A and B are shown apart, each in its own frame.
Chain A
Amino acid sequence: MNILRNLRYTKSHEWVEILEDSKIRTGLTDFAQHALGSLVFVNLPEEGDEVTAGESYADVESVKAVSDVNAPASGVVSAVNEELLDAPEKLNEDPYGSWMIEISEVSDLEELMDADEYEAFCREEE
């Protein structure tokens, strides 16, 4: 399982990259993509949509099931990685390269773990 040092993590297995100007970028962790299995569909929000911390902003679907992806913070969607719409398998192949959305005007940032804390958290979940 791959965990990057420069990112922070939610308990629902999203990674968070803190950008400048109260902006964040987020996606699914390697642990999440592995647990979900091969993804065949992703439903993303649109630029300008509002998202709420801890609530679902997207679904990802494997052959077996549909799963929610939660927003690590409240804010406004300022960019969407639309490449994933036609290539959801990128979430499996390169989970940290495949960011899903950027959120600006961030408030209510969830409690995030650093890489060591997240590694310990995943070990407990296994």
Chain B
Amino acid sequence: MVPFAGYLLPVQYTDVIAEHMAVRNQAGLFDVSHMGEVIIAGPDALACINHLYTNDFTSMQDGRVRYSPMCNEEGGVVDDLIVYRMAADRYLVVVNAANRHKDVEWMKAHLTGDVTLEDRSDEYAQLALQGPKSREILARIMTEDEIPAKYYTFRDDVTAAGAKCLVSQTGYTGEHGYEIYCRPEDAPGIWDALLAAGREDGLIPCGLGARDTLRLEAAMPLYGHEMNDTISPLETGLGFSVKMQKQEFIGKAAMLAKGEPKIRRIGLKVTGRGIIREHCKIFAGGHEIGATTSGTHCPYLGGAYAMALVDTEYAGEGTPVEAEVRGRKVAAEITALPFYKKA
């Protein structure tokens, strides 16, 4: 167990690799109750989140989920989050646990119009059921037509294992899956019911270790690694969620002033011997071109991979590079992201 943002989390229940492979091949269950939940509500809620976040929520409908970075005035990332539209004037915002208090303070200081913000994190537990078997397993503890049918949609006020919850088709593994939000006192019952319902399909509990290797293999950025207060979402490959045509949002002016990004997030496949982890310098043709942000052995792909932020001039796919790992040079090649994409 390790302390993480005020919660005690298991790094692994059995073995990181076994847990990782269960999610890719069958299903895994994660307790992600540490995530922060914030409600933004009021007549001006839509205008407010369009100001706070870089994505555009104007066309969003009830029951939809949308990902977005939240930037500071300099265009760096305060956090990345997902927004659930509960109603036209009510949004559930799910933020990273480690940033929860910073985010709440930042948002409170930058609210616009007639809105209220409540940090409801302590009233929510969250379980993530991920993997190709997750739909079948979930259907054994809830009514099939209450399961959200499409990616990035959700159903509120549904029942799982006899408890009220919100279920979304979302996740952080690159696999088909669901996230279940419920009252903390109901979480153990849902957890046990899912594990029992999924046993025949190979469902096992998964820890923080597998959560990290799965998101890395799927090349999903993690706050504090691929982005932070000084890295812009455009630099880290999140341009799809930055709507520059929007009239205004925090960070837009700075991004416009900065122009085309000079660094880019790229993938590295290790071609030499070793594992490249975070904070390793990257060299191409003798030039230092950037540094890694995450990296490890990816169990499903069976090789070592890393993500790095490098000078765009050297960011071309197939570029041979070297990483400095504990005083040794390890050969790698710039490769397309994501490393893994589900079939």
Contacts and interface: CB of A to CB of B under 8 A. Distances in A.
Nearest to A65: B277
* 7 nearest CB pairs, A to B: A40-B297, A63-B16, A38-B17, A61-B275, A41-B275, A63-B297, A63-B296
A43 interface: yes
Contact of B275 (A37, A38, A66): A66
Contacts of A38: 15-17
A37 B297 contact: no
Query: What is the size category of the interface that chain A forms with chain B?
Result: 10 to 19
A43 B273 contact: yes
Contacts of A49: none
Query: What is the size category of the interface that chain B forms with chain A?
Result: 10 to 19
B207 to A, nearest CB: 10
Given A61-B297, A63-B297, A66-B326, A37 B15 contact: yes
Interface in A26-55: 37-38, 40-41, 43
B17 A59 contact: no
Nearest to A61: B275
A41 B16 contact: no
B297 A66 contact: no
Contacts of B11: 64
A78 interface: no
A10 B127 CA distance: 43
Contact of B274 (A41, A62, A63): A41
A37 B277 contact: no
B15 A43 contact: no
Interface of A is mostly: strand
B277 A66 contact: yes
Interface string B1-45: 000000000011001110010000000000000000000000000
Nearest to B216: A63
A43 B326 CA distance: 12
Interface in A62-96: 62-64, 66, 85
A85 B16 CA distance: 21
B304 interface: yes
Contacts of B296: 63-64
Interface in B205-219: 209, 213
B299 interface: yes
A79 B311 CA distance: 43
Contacts of A61: 274-275, 297
A63 B213 contact: yes
B83 to A, nearest CB: 32
Contact of A63 (B17, B273, B326, B328): B17
A41 B304 contact: yes
Contacts of A41: 273-275, 297, 304
Interface in A1-43: 37-38, 40-41, 43
Interface in B258-306: 273-275, 277, 296-297, 299, 304
Contacts of A37: 12, 15-16
A38 B309 CA distance: 29
Contacts of B20: 63
A64 B274 contact: no
A37 B15 CA distance: 7
A40 B20 CA distance: 14
Nearest to A39: B297
